[in-house]
């Protein structure tokens, strides 16, 4: 008798509970396969801290292969290329094998759009995949020690905030005094969030000598410069596009139902209504009941529901609804042991904010990390 097969695309935040309890599927007689392009999954919430040197790579990553194989599952180091929902198979990029599934769960993540980027791998660094920040760290250290360096961060949101602050920390600790950091923030730094956050960030950056340019958008970047829509051009030896993320393209490429942003369209059960054997969570989905921000807190909240519903789908049991919950805590790591915290009307900056974030992040890592 052929066993039912559970296939997971990605070992990201929304799959953490499922991965930790993978043996429960194996013990019930199901096959379990995880597809991921790297043996490790990096926790994005601590990625900027790795760029700045607060954390080593091993501090912020999960050994997905070990977690899977130690519980009797199968780990495939590859990228899923397409999903064929009619034949119920997943196609891979590097291998000809087609993986059959009875239940499929997608946590395929997101990518930084490259619109306006002049292709130049030596100067343009994106925050996803997180491993790219390691290459950026090394490049800054090497180039900053031998020549003056101008670094541009493109975007006015939280990612820009954290990347700029942690590049400053890296340069301070490495004594790279000839490095200039500049943020091209679009209309306004942190403009979609309470004004006080932007005010606090401006004050921190002003003291550090980080220039924030507001009131215009970047048209082109790469090749050693950044061009704004007002005609001004700035030298930029290294560029970090941080203008938001888009869901993996695998769903549109596969002809699966998607939301306006290209994310896998799922219902209140984190399930694709048209294909009830397909589920998803994290940045790669579009939650049909209400759009969700691309923040890790929702992926973490989805974990227990996704685990329950994957098991229920294999067993033919009742599914649970996902409740996104109310407001959530926001803390930004600005490097130098300083953060900005926001929850309800409480907004403040300083070392306490960073200490709270560091505690929460390390606790999350410790819960799911396996050496």
By the 8 A CB rule, do 151 and 179 touch? yes
pLDDT at 370 over 70: no
At 306, is the pLDDT very low, low, confident or very high (cuts 50, 70, 90)? very high
Exposed, middle or buried, 199 (CB in 10 Å: 0-12/13-18/19+)? middle
Domains and CATH numbers, the chain: 5-111+245-315 (3.50.50.60), 131-244 (3.50.50.60)
- Interval 78-84 mean pLDDT: 96
- Helix/strand/coil for 316: coil
Question: What is the percent of the chain with per-residue pLDDT over 70, rounded to a whole number?
Answer: 98
Backbone angles phi, psi at 359, to 5 degrees: -65, -45
pLDDT at 122 over 80: no
- Interval 119-146 mean pLDDT: 87
Which pLDDT score, from 0 to 100, does residue 371 have? 44
Nearest to 88 by CA among 199, 4, 173: 4
Sign of the C-alpha dihedral computed for residues 133, 139, 141 and 143 taken in this order: negative
Which pLDDT score, from 0 to 100, does residue 120 have? 63
By the 8 A CB rule, do 340 and 32 touch? no
Average pLDDT of the residues of the chain = 93
């Amino acid at each position: 008798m052929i066993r039912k097969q559970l296939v997971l695309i990605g070992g990201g935040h929304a799959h953490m509970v499922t991965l930790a309890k993978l043996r429960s599927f194996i013990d019930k007689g199901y096959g379990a396969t995880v597809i991921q392009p790297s043996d490790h999954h990096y926790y994005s919430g601590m990625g900027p801290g790795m760029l700045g040197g607060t954390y080593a790579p091993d501090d912020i990553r999960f050994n997905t292969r070990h977690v899977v194989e130690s519980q009797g599952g199968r780990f495939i180091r590859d990228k899923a290329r397409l999903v064929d929902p009619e034949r119920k198979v997943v196609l891979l990029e590097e291998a000809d094998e087609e993986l059959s599934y009875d239940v499929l769960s997608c946590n395929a993540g997101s990518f930084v759009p490259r619109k306006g980027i002049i292709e130049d791998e030596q100067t343009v660094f994106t925050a996803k995949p997180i491993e790219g920040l390691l290459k950026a760290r090394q490049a800054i250290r090497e180039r900053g020690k031998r020549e003056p360096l101008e670094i541009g961060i493109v975007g006015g949101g939280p990612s820009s905030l954290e990347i700029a602050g942690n590049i400053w920390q890296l340069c301070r600790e490495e004594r790279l005094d000839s490095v200039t950091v500049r943020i091209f923030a679009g209309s306004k730094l942190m403009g979609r969030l309470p004004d006080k956050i932007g005010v606090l960030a401006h004050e921190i950056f002003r003291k550090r000598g980080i220039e924030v340019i507001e009131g215009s958008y970047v048209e082109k970047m790469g090749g050693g410069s950044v061009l704004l829509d007002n005609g001004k051009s700035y030298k930029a030896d290294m560029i970090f596009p941080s203008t938001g993320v888009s869901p993996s393209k695998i769903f549109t490429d596969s002809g699966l139902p998607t939301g306006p942003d290209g994310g896998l369209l799922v219902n209140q059960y984190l399930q694709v209504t048209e294909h009830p054997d397909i589920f998803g969570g994290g940045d790669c989905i579009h939650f049909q009941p209400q759009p969700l921000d691309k923040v890790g807190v929702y992926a973490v909240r989805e974990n227990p529901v996704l685990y329950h519903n994957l098991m229920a789908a294999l067993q033919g049991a009742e599914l649970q609804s996902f409740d996104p919950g109310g407001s959530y805590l926001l803390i930004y790591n600005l490097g130098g042991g300083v953060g900005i915290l926001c929850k309800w009307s409480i907004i403040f900056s300083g070392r306490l904010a960073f200490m709270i974030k560091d505690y929460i992040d390390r606790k999350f890592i410790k819960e799911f990390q396996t050496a």
